[in-house]
Amino acid sequence: MLLKELTRLAGVSGDEGEVRAFIKEQAAPHCDEITVDSMGSVLCLKRAKGGSDRTVMVAAHMDEVGFMVQYVRDDGLIRYLTVGGIDPAVCVSKRVLVGKKRVPGVIGCKAVHLQERDERTRALKHSQLFIDIGARDKADALSRVSVGDYIHFDSEYVEFGRGLVKSRALDDRVGCAVMLELMRRDFPVDVVYAFNTQEEVGLRGAKTTAFRAQPDCALVLEGTTANDTVGARVHEEICSVGAGPAISFMDRASIANPQLFERLRALAKERGIPWQLKRGATGGNDAGSIQRARGGCATTAISVPCRYIHSPASVCNLEDVENQFRLVAAFLEEGGKY
């Protein structure tokens, strides 16, 4: 799969151009039609060889969380805005790249020996952090960056341990990688592969792709929070890295179609595909927009568990990615029926 290549591309919400260009290039040999809508989302249609009266949408989002230059101080330090949900606790001392020129910088804060007592015992807020690009002053900084420039974490893809990978943007380049692999296969149903924009800031791109595609049902491929680490109680774990893709029954944006949900669980058991329930109803994903498009659409999400999500060092298991692929392929092989 193309996961490593995808995670190297910059794609903060609203600035998905690099990811979009790569996906169009990779999809072109395998799909019948490729269109880009006004939101910048990519729709790749692959028709069934013998024709089909059903259309299944398989969706993932191209964007990742990041930052944007808000203003530059007189001393050349940059104040930033967050784009998507980022815990400030994961930001201090992390490397970033600013703008199209990828100007290197570091997220900094006031020195610890200058902090007040309460500042040393809790995570600092984003308003207390800044980005240092090594500028002499404001003019020097503005010669290299501009207000409104996008900023993303500077973090390499690294495989380690027993089948694990560390990278930024696993949410949701894992879903994009699986979709690019799926479209290499033929299925007895028309499939629209929707690579959506701006999921991290309100499930925005999925609203237009689902409205346009009008699918009979949709599977949303995601990277989701795995809270299977030290200090988490069993009921707080949500899902576990290495236990298979997590099938969602509900979150804050949508409730899975019961028949589709049950069919996916049964199919995983029939095919011997490792899987797990997403044991929590937190967060949300593009299913929330797709479910309500036009006259409505049956949806559910199949997610790869990721530790330390929305950080420069998210971690997932490559077997979970492979089994996400296997489960979706099995569903499409049966014509997307449920």
pLDDT tier, 230 (very low <50, low <70, confident <90, very high otherwise): confident
Q: Is there a single domain that holds both residue 57 and residue 78?
A: no
Q: Is there a single domain that holds both residue 87 and residue 198?
A: no
Residues 159-206 have pLDDT tens digits of 999 999 999 999 999 999 999 999 999 999 999 999 999 999 999 999
- How many angstroms separate the most distant Cα atoms in the chain? 70
Q: Is there a single domain that holds both residue 11 and residue 87?
A: no
Residues 150-172 have pLDDT tens digits of 999 999 999 999 999 999 999 99
147 within some domain: yes
Question: What does 156-205 look like in DSSP terms, one character per residue?
Answer: --EEETTTEEEES-HHHHHHHHHHHHHTTS--SSEEEEEEES-GGGTSHH
Q: Is there a single domain that holds both residue 9 and residue 112?
A: no
Last residue of a domain, one of 129, 153, 177: 153
Q: Is there a single domain that holds both residue 225 and residue 100?
A: no
**CATH at residue 31:** 3.40.630.10
Planar angle of CA 50, 1, 277, nearest 5 degrees? 85
Residue 118 scores a pLDDT above 80: no
Planar angle of CA 185, 206, 278, nearest 5 degrees? 75
Q: How many domains does the chain have?
A: 2
Last residue of a domain, one of 97, 124, 153: 153
Q: Is there a single domain that holds both residue 300 and residue 186?
A: yes
pTM score over 0.85: yes
Q: Do the beta carbons of residue 162 and residue 309 sit within 8 Å?
A: no
163 within some domain: no
CA distance 50 to 188: 7
What positions carry a catalytic annotation? 199
Residue 136 neighbours by CB under 8 Å, 6+ apart = 76
Q: Is there a single domain that holds both residue 9 and residue 146?
A: no
Altogether, the residues listed in the chain come to a count of: 338
Residues 11-56 have pLDDT tens digits of 999 999 999 999 999 999 999 999 999 999 999 999 999 889 999 9
Q: Is there a single domain that holds both residue 74 and residue 212?
A: no
Segments forming the whole domain that contains residue 306: 3-64+168-333
**Full strand arrangement of the beta sheet holding 314-317:** 158-160, 164-167, 314-317
Residues 138-152 have pLDDT tens digits of 999 999 999 999 999
Residue 115 scores a pLDDT above 70: no
Q: Is there a single domain that holds both residue 146 and residue 257?
A: no
Q: What tokens appear for 202 in the block?
A: 């309100």
The total of other beta-carbon atoms located within 10 Å of residue 166's CB is 21
Give the mean pLDDT of 49-74: 96
| 272 phi and psi angles, rounded to 5 deg | 70, 35
CA distance 309 to 224: 7
Residue 234 scores a pLDDT above 70: no
| 42 phi and psi angles, rounded to 5 deg | -110, 125
